[in-house]
Structure 1
């Protein structure tokens, strides 16, 4: 669906993005991650056609954006961080205007508007002024304008920013439904949001792609090196440090400990053996996964 080749962009004398290449081959939800200033927003703005790159090529469904920008942009829907709403219009008036801007034939405009009103569950608000909608419903209208022309690629910048927990769950469900037959690129600084909804990860750092792969691969980018244990007899730190391979012991409160190992091969078995031998009354033991924050920090060298 999307192919980015050697994308670079320079602001004045500073390169914001340098030689970025990646593919989005199929439908699904792709998380675009990066630290502040990493080049994430620049990449999104270039992909959406808001900004023209200094170098490189962007293909949307094999259409070269630099050679045929109008046809390429017909394939793209974009929701900026702040929805581009005209708050003195009704929902229906606004979406009708968006449909005309997207060059939908006049005879098809009403059907297109009705479809996105239903898709985004805002049909009952069609006659309401946009300024009188809650933040969650304004976000739904923003998503509706991004999909009204049935594009192949949807780019969403912080789509759940500022919403309450119930609204976040509703927007996640809507995004999953949209991604059933198209590619959705989701930019967010909330790693919990990425974990909850994304299937693939693209991470940009210092203007370069540092990771591209499935969510599971991102989760497992770092090898775990710690074991959580619950020992009801609460041995001393010094006793736990005598277990073969233990590098450090962290007391988590009460009977809970975190044991850092040089190598996790056979680590849980050694903990079980020592607990039985010393009467520590082992209640729980498992290898801990690295958090998304740990993976993000490692990839961004922070």
Structure 2
């Protein structure tokens, strides 16, 4: 179980949360505390979490100091999941052409795919994915969606995203953060109805033809 009891820091305000053997999506506006909460859950900003030794936090950016390290070497560092090998992961994500490419030379989209590959190879009890579809083209977003949806690829997933359509299609439970506090904690069905969406997004976000649409 992941558990926070009345936790506060410079962003989060008296926050309590329990996550046990389930998938979760964390939503919220910019600056609401989503990434901070993820780092707290992963034990990167606090040591007050129960059972955080089995968490893998995948950040939005791939930062590495070794300019000579290639993708294959980088992924070898994450290789804890003996049920799948690197070749299979390269094929799943269609990134075999990146195997010998220097990590420092990757584009933002390529870096995102390599980070997701590292998550699969590590396959912790809980994988926290911070904006896993950022910088990806539509086809790769679809690939990532299906891999997240597949319960055999990763164990329990905690997804931080601004991609409301991704959140809607995944159907995981939802937490919505507002000013460092949990303002909503419930099912996808409860969150993704027009009445609730109007509360958080005015009339900007609409449900149309089983998709979430931003009305510009």
Q: What range is the shorter-chain TM-score in? A: 0.7 to 0.9
Normalising to structure 2: TM-score of the pair? Answer: 0.76
Kindly state the Cα deviation for residue 181 of structure 1 after the two structures are TM-superposed. 5.4
Number of aligned residues: 200
Change (3 A) 1:88 1:181: closer
Match of 1:202 among 171, 175, 182: 175
Alpha-carbon shift at residue 51 of structure 1 (Å): 1.1
SS of the residue 1:160 aligns to: coil
Q: Name the residue aligned to 1:46.
A: 40
> Runs of 5+ in structure 2 lacking a partner?
203-216
Say whether residues 1:128 and 2:119 are aligned partners: no
Q: Matched residue of 1:204: which SS?
A: strand
Q: 1:256-275: CA deviations, max 9, x gaps?
A: xxxxxxxxxxxxxxxxxxxx
1:76/1:155 contact within 8 Å kept: yes
Alignment map for 1:228-239 (pairs within 5 Å): none
Secondary structure at the aligned position of 1:175 is classed as: helix
Larger RCO (CA within 8 A; separation ≥ 6): 2
Alignment deviations for residues 154-209 of structure 1 (CA, whole Å, 9 cap, x no partner):
11111111211112111112222257652211111232232232411011112211
Q: Which residue among 77, 86, 94 is the counterpart of 2:56?
A: 77
Q: RMSD of the alignment, in Å?
A: 2.9
CA distance in structure 2 between the partners assigned to 1:80 and 1:31 by the alignment = 15
Aligned partner (choices 75, 93, 97) of residue 95 of structure 1: 75
Q: What residue number does 1:215 align with? A: 188
Higher strand share: 1
Return 5+ residue gaps in structure 1 as ranges. 61-71, 221-288
Match of 1:4 in 2: 4
Q: Radius of gyration: which is bigger?
A: 1
Instruction: Determine the structure 2 residue equivalent to 1:27.
Output: 22
CA distance in 1 between counterparts of 2:22 and 2:95 reads 25
